[in-house]
A and B are shown apart, each in its own frame.
Chain A
Amino acid sequence: MKSTARDGTENSLPQPGLAQAGSPAEAELYEVQRTIYPRAVHGWFASWRVAVVLATQLVYYGGPWLTWNGRQAVLFDLAARKFYIFGVVFWPQDFILLTALLVISALALFLFTAIAGRLWCGFACPQTVYTEIFMWIERKFEGDHLARMKLDRQGLSVRKVVLKAAKHGTWIALSLWTGFTFVGYFTPIRTLVAEIASVGLGPWELFWILFYGLATYGNAGWMREQVCKYMCPYARFQSVMFDSDTLVITYDGARGEPRGSRRRSADYRTAGLGACVDCGICVQVCPTGIDIRNGLQYECIGCAACIDGCDQVMDKMGYARGLIRYSTENALRGKYPERQIARQALRPRTLIYSAVLLAVVTAFGAALYLRVPLKVNVIRDRAVLMRETSGGLLENVYRLQVINTTEQSRRFVVTASGMDGLQLIAQQPVTVPAAGALTLPVALRIDPATTPPGSHAVLFHIEDSADARVRADEKSVFHVR
């Protein structure tokens, strides 16, 4: 399926200056990009990518194993609707914070994309990260690109079956581990281990392990750049963030052309050649199978593998590095010298993104810092607006829903204010269990002689009897006649 898919899909948009990809080499592009990768590993950008892969995966695979206060440190308990992140317990009422987090993520994507293109795609996206890991496994079993091409061309042999089975077996094992880790964020991972050991896994846990595992295996093992080219919406709308001052990976055509092979000792200028030796390494290392020398293309995920590849060749030839480099459209056109590129990062677009991002981050941080681990809802009884007590006082009834989001039980004291001579009738103090909720019916009383008819604002104040910082105010109304 893989090769046929490639035949049918390598039909790139015929843009001006873009060589037609429908060349006979097309079917091999996918194989080639794996092979050259080992060279790129030595490059500066490749090292960065490996570092990001290791860092993100350490967090991802390690996260569920951390413990905090005798429970899993990061656990999203969907059934109980409680979300534990280290010392904090979030409730569904806190989802505004998740919204803020997503807004921050979106703004950060806008900002970094406006400054330096698809940084996310090339270095941090799980699709890139897992593809990187899977290609590393592939290389360990099947060898370099030439060995793999040879292997795939061969007929069926015992060696081929063993190598392929070993590769896919390792892929599937890693995928299942990935799915297991994913579910481990929602079901305590140690419980999950026990359940697997005793074959007592719940149907949904099993489903999600297999589903997430299959998605990992399919996307990183088989689909790879197809995901970026055809499925990913971010890839499409990131181009909207680009402008002429955005850093993109570009081939310096003025310096490189006319390209051609030459002897290392020869002076290419006298031979009428540019710096490009036309070795094709930039094409071979490309994970999406494009030729960066044709200019910026929508398939480019900004991984900078071609920069690493080209720099190595330039070093070997004794030429200056940077024939393929990060530069901007305007710099290449000569609107400003390249050393001023950094200054171009400070332009209205990026400044506005930064300002908005900073504002949201500040608001998010403040909200998190000032968050009180107590939530109160006041629900006024609506069927009986008001009633008279045997003592002739007027009474309104409310339900207080008190939610304690900390992990120890707390005793709360309720008071009410807003009207003169207001009496509160409630069973106090009320103990709310750790990370629990409680409904407390309370009544407010007032002397009709001192109160005019109508609706009066009242304020409920709920405070931890031992810790005055844990308190909340909730507004409601008192109806008279």
Chain B
Amino acid sequence: MSDFTSDFWAVYIALITVLSIIACAVLLYACSTRGAVKGEQAGTTGHTWDEDLHEWNNPLPRWWMWLFYLTIVFSLVYLALYPGLGTYRGVFGWSSQQQYDDEQQQASLRYGPIFDKYLKQEVAAVAADPEARAIGQRLFLNYCAQCHGSDAGGGKGFPNLRDTDWLYGGDPATIRESIANGRLGSMPPMGAAVGSAEEIKDVANYVRSLSGLTHDTLRLPRGRQKFAAICAACHGADAKGNPQLHAPNLTDKVWLYGGSEATIIETITKGRAGQMPAHKGFLDDGKIHLLTAYVYSLSREPQK
């Protein structure tokens, strides 16, 4: 517990504390016996300001003196009950860690039943409960919105959770798995495999053509050839992706990192690595369950 290398310092500080309290008591006693004689004229301290402003040494009201004694009693009682004297832990054995743990336990006693109620229900049923969705939204804003956005619309590198396009699957079990254990989405750098900058540009134009975006038609045949030879291994010959390999569908309008030619070239050349951290370490089952239901409900809202 002690931060010091030697036990001496704990004793040293405890001694200073006790001596200070005793010194306060002695000083108080010495001062309070003075001026008790009725009618006695108080003297000055000898300090004078502005020619005639004297500091008088009047005795304190008696109740005030008792309040001072009370503070001494209080400090002694406090030091007996709580840690304060060196390494002495006090009669109560109080510690900030223990207090934190107690408060956590209090909170789980209070809020646990709410989560337990929803844990017993299917995700689809929880997702239909407006109260559960409200709790889910608050949890989402706390834990998820930093990356996925307050409206769950995602951002560059962070998937949109409101659409029906899923990299890993949108069924409750898969969503729960993604939240609890996290995901590592990885596209290896394919620049060397594809070849020269021109060849990469060919592939990029072919990929853009898949989702109906503007492209250079002259580059299409060369790009299609390269794609079939290299990219199709993961993304499939029809480029519709492969959920087993978590390879995204390239024929839809959903772009995780962006669909411009420059961005696609960057993706092919350097690869991509996305990580969804695992949350089961600090979110309990009840919270993950509610978050799963909330995310599940998002893709069932009418699309805007």
Contact = CB atoms under 8 A, between A and B. Distances in A.
A5 B41 contact: no
Given A22-B38, A388-B258, A383 B147 contact: yes
A11 B35 contact: yes
A5 B141 contact: no
Contacts of B12: none
A384 B158 contact: yes
Interface in B25-67: 35-36, 38-42, 56, 58-64, 66
B253 interface: yes
Contacts of A157: none
A22 B39 contact: yes
- Most chain A CB within 10 A, of B39, B146, B150, is at B150
B284 interface: no
A423 to B, nearest CB: 10
B62 A390 contact: no
Contacts of A24: 39
A46 B56 CA distance: 36
A381 B141 CA distance: 10
Contact of A439 (B38, B141, B152): B141
B137 A439 contact: yes
- Most chain B CB within 10 A, of A4, A391, A397, A439, is at A397
A399 B35 contact: no
Interface in A1-33: 1, 4-5, 7-9, 11, 13-14, 20, 22-24, 26-27
B141 A443 contact: no
B34 to A, nearest CB: 10
Main secondary structure of the interface of A (DSSP, over half): mixed
A26 B37 CA distance: 13
B214 to A, nearest CB: 11
Nearest to B146: A383
A425 B304 contact: yes
A397 B149 contact: yes
Nearest to A382: B146
Contacts of A395: 153
A223 interface: yes
Interface residues of A, number: 35
A399 B141 contact: yes
A439 B139 CA distance: 12
B62 A8 contact: yes
A45 interface: no
A397 B147 CA distance: 12
Contacts of A439: 137-138, 141
B101 interface: no
B156 interface: yes
B145 interface: yes
Given A4-B62, A5-B62, A384-B155, A398 B150 contact: yes
B88 interface: no
Main secondary structure of the interface of B (DSSP, over half): loop
Given A387-B156, A425-B304, A397 B253 contact: no
Contacts of B253: 390-391
Chain B interface size band reads 35 or more
A4 B37 CA distance: 11
Nearest to B64: A230
B238 interface: no
B107 to A, nearest CB: 16
A14 B141 contact: no
B20 to A, nearest CB: 26
Nearest to A14: B41
Interface in B150-181: 150-156, 158
- Most chain B CB within 10 A, of A24, A381, A399, A442, is at A381
B255 interface: yes
A397 B150 contact: yes
A441 interface: yes
A417 interface: no
Given A226-B63, A384-B156, A26 B149 contact: no
A443 B149 CA distance: 10
A381 B61 contact: no
Contact of B154 (A230, A387, A399): A387
Interface string A270-295: 00000000000000000000000000
A68 B70 CA distance: 45
B254 A26 contact: no
Contacts of B61: 5, 8-9, 226, 230
Nearest to A13: B56
Contacts of B63: 1, 5, 223, 226
B153 A8 contact: no
27 contacts: A4-B62, A5-B62, A7-B36, A7-B38, A7-B62, A8-B35, A8-B59, A8-B61, A11-B42, A20-B41, A22-B41, A226-B61, A230-B61, A230-B64, A379-B150, A384-B147, A384-B154, A384-B155, A384-B156, A384-B158, A387-B156, A388-B156, A388-B258, A397-B151, A399-B150, A441-B149, A443-B151
The 9 closest A-B pairs by CB, nearest first: A384-B155, A441-B151, A390-B253, A441-B150, A22-B39, A5-B62, A9-B61, A387-B155, A399-B150
